[in-house]
């Protein structure tokens, strides 16, 4: 999922450093620690604002959905 966001941003001339907010939806909160480990790989420095909730997902086979908001100057 984060790779898709990264590629989409790059196509628009941006990067993950331009992300201001992430809306994270987890299928199971038991995956929260594992998600945080992966998230830290993509956002190693100062992290964008975020919230994370447990919910049913649009695609039931997925474990996480993310909506990102980026700012381009």
Domain boundaries, the chain: 2-70
The answer for 71, left when phi > 0, alpha when psi is -120 to 50, beta otherwise, is beta
Within 8 A by CB and 6+ apart from 33, the residues are: none
| pLDDT at residue 58 in the model | 93
Q: Judge whether residue 43 has pLDDT over 90.
A: yes
| pLDDT at residue 17 in the model | 96
Q: Where are the alpha helices (DSSP H) in the chain?
A: 2-11, 32-42
Instruction: Report, at the CATH architecture level, how domain 2-70 is classified.
Output: 2-Layer Sandwich (3.30)
Q: Judge whether residue 1 has pLDDT over 90.
A: no
Average pLDDT over residues 13-28: 97
pLDDT digits (tens, 9 = 90+) for 45-72: 999 999 999 999 999 999 999 999 999 8
Please state, in angstroms and rounded to a whole number, the distance separating the CA atoms of residues 68 and 43: 13
């Amino acid at each position: 999922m984060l790779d898709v966001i990264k590629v989409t941003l790059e196509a628009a001339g941006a990067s993950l450093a331009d992300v201001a907010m992430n809306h994270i939806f987890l299928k199971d909160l038991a995956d929260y620690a594992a998600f945080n480990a992966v998230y830290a790989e993509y956002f190693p420095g100062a992290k964008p604002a975020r919230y994370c909730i447990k919910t049913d997902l649009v695609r039931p086979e997925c474990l996480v959905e993310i909506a990102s908001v980026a700012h381009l100057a």
